[in-house]
Amino acid sequence: MEEARNNQTGASPSIDLSANAPIELPKLLLASSSPRRSEILRLVGWPFEKVAAEVDESLNENELPAQYVERLALAKAQDAASRNVNGLIVAADTTVVIDEMILAKPVDSEDAHRMLRTLQGRWHQVLTGVALVSAQDARVAHELTDVRFAAMTDQEIAWYVSTGEPNDKAGAYAIQGLGARFIQEIKGDYFNVMGLPVRLLYELALGRR
């Protein structure tokens, strides 16, 4: 299991960390159409605007999960930057891994059934790559959370797929939605499973990663 969070080079944004000064969060340009990532930033009071980003999310040959999510996160942020967007751009990519196999978004309901049958009653890992890019800096890292699914009956799987919630979710479930009833235990960052690890983002913004 990969536990390292790999950083790329660059100086951090200038932020006053003196003992008595409040830490002001830098405004972010979120290169993501995910409503979940927007929800997380609003929840923690992080100012942001959304910007467009488009990348090919195909997996490269022999690419490890951590390499995959970090590469896509950085590619999304760089794509937004290439559109002449000025500011501090954040992008993220999340995937689910079980038995060293990546479970991306299901292509159809049959694929969602397959993923849920694979996950039910077992532990798996959720990895999210996070990239922060500005004109002076580029840094990227990833977070890993272990998640244990409860055992699911065929009826439960069929019902959950029929709700449509699994359709655009890595691993075919949403921990913050209807899928929460099937999550038995997690070890690590809950927000990472939602799609944006807040603590990791905070440390990247402060130059601690």
| Residues acting as catalytic residues | 93
Q: Do the beta carbons of residue 179 and residue 168 sit within 8 Å?
A: no
Pairing type for strands 28-30 and 138-149 reads unpaired
- State the DSSP string of 29-92: EE----HHHHHHHHHTT--EEE-------PPPTT--HHHHHHHHHHHHHHHHHHTT--SEEEEE
Residue found under tokens 């979120």? 30
* Alpha-carbon span 124 to 144, nearest angstrom: 10
* Alpha-carbon span 160 to 155, nearest angstrom: 9
* Alpha-carbon span 114 to 23, nearest angstrom: 45
